[in-house]
Amino acid sequence: MAIISDDEKFNNIQQKLVDIKPEINEFDKSFENNIRPKTFENYIGQSNLKETLKISIEAAKKRELPLDHLLFYGPPGLGKTTLAGVIAQEMNVDIKITSAPALERPRDIIGILMSLKGGEILFIDEIHRLNKIAEEILYPAMEDFTLDMTTGKGQSVKTLRVPVPKFTLIGATTKAGALSGPLRDRFGIIHRLEFYTTEELAKVIERTASILNIEITKKGAFAIARRSRGTPRIANRLIKRVGDFALVKYNSEITENIANESLNILKIDEMGLDSTDRSLLKLIIEKFDGGPVGIETIAAALGEDSRTLEDVSEPYLLQSGFIQRTPRGRKVSPEAMRYLGYKTNSAQQTLF
Ligand code: ADE
């Protein structure tokens, strides 16, 4: 039997993780693989979540039972997928990775459940997009580790209960609210991933820089961290781009000045807003008098996909108080207007 080292095993896991992220290209795959933390010790941030997970893992190991089913929710890029890989490594079990859109037909979900081995982790990304039939197949599997299969037709229909190995489901979603109640209730542990602080992001950046052999000063790391929208995936993308500038344009380590100048050239401003964010805010201010305006209208006017705006641009704009969601649509705050250099009148001040 081939003996696989822990590192190889982890790389296999991580390869599976990046395989389900279609937005990541081939080059970025190996980049993501190399810089993903492998253990809790190397995983920066989310300290509350880490502490509770460590206890749950310890308890599961002591009881010799699989970990409870886990649901992670929160904006994209905060490390839900990475965390699933870390949990598999810490539990010393394999992980099978998929995403809800890949589980369209009943046989997709049945096939993957039947292929699990005892104790394994099944990771389903974008779990809010699971269809009703797939959800109903999943319920008894999650609750009793059984599959209810039907055979025959009409009057002679029979239901067969088939056991599946005890497994842990880790679901990830950017939209906890879109998950059906019965599915949400079947997760023993539900956790929201929080945006990272600037200090945490600076640590992520220093760690990534050292893996990639990019030299950076502490202030340089903080300068990138401040413009990374609380999101490690963005921080890791920016360090690479700023690293290119430092090498080609300045032939130097990344200093605070180089980071700031490079990010200005990349049109990422001091709050980390990019041109899509700024266009969105300006559109609401200039064309819709500050809002409220519906997301579909905004998306059509910007030529963007409304789901991308909701999932990628909005969470940080909401968190930083630049926009507000109301039942009638999105509104821009006076802070956002001032930040972008618009005058606010007293009506706008009180309306918000
Ligand atoms: N890279 C991406 N997310 C990370 C994290 N939470 N800790 C360390 N490195 C990371």
- Amino acid 350: pLDDT: 45
- Amino acid 347: pLDDT: 52
- Taking CA atoms only, the protein residue closest to ligand 1 atom 2 is 232
- Amino acid 158: pLDDT: 87
Q: Sorting pLDDT into bands at 50, 70 and 90, what band is 288? A: very high
The answer to whether 259 and 270 have CB atoms below 8 angstroms apart is no
Indicate which residues carry an active-site annotation.
Answer: 80-81, 125, 174, 233
Contacts of 200 (CB under 8 A, 6+ apart): 44, 45
Distance CA 110, CA 107 (A): 5
Residue 79 Cα to ligand 1 middle (Å): 7
- Amino acid 344: pLDDT: 79
Distance CA 223, CA 219 (A): 6
Q: Sorting pLDDT into bands at 50, 70 and 90, what band is 348? A: low
174 in contact with ligand 1, CB cutoff 6 A = no
85 in contact with ligand 1, CB cutoff 6 A = no
Residue 197 Cα to ligand 1 middle (Å): 13
Burial (0-12, 13-18, 19+ Cβ within 10 Å), 71: buried
Residue 235 Cα to ligand 1 middle (Å): 9
Among the residue ranges 10-24, 203-217, 240-254, 332-346, the one predicted with the least confidence is 10-24
Among the residue ranges 32-46, 184-198, 204-218, the one predicted with the least confidence is 32-46
- Residue predicted with more confidence, 248 or 31: 248
- Amino acid 22: pLDDT: 47
209 in contact with ligand 1, CB cutoff 6 A = no
Distance CA 247, CA 279 (A): 31
44 in contact with ligand 1, CB cutoff 6 A = yes
In the predicted structure, residue 153 carries a pLDDT above the cut 50: yes
pLDDT tens per residue across span 214-229: 999 999 999 999 999 9
- Out of 82, 87, 201, 224, mutate this one to test ligand 1's pocket (max ligand atoms within 8 Å of CB): namely 82
Average pLDDT over residues 136-154: 91
236 in contact with ligand 1, CB cutoff 6 A = yes
Q: How many residues can be counted in the chain?
A: 352
Q: Sorting pLDDT into bands at 50, 70 and 90, what band is 160? A: confident
In the predicted structure, residue 19 carries a pLDDT above the cut 60: no
In the predicted structure, residue 351 carries a pLDDT above the cut 80: no
In the predicted structure, residue 313 carries a pLDDT above the cut 80: yes
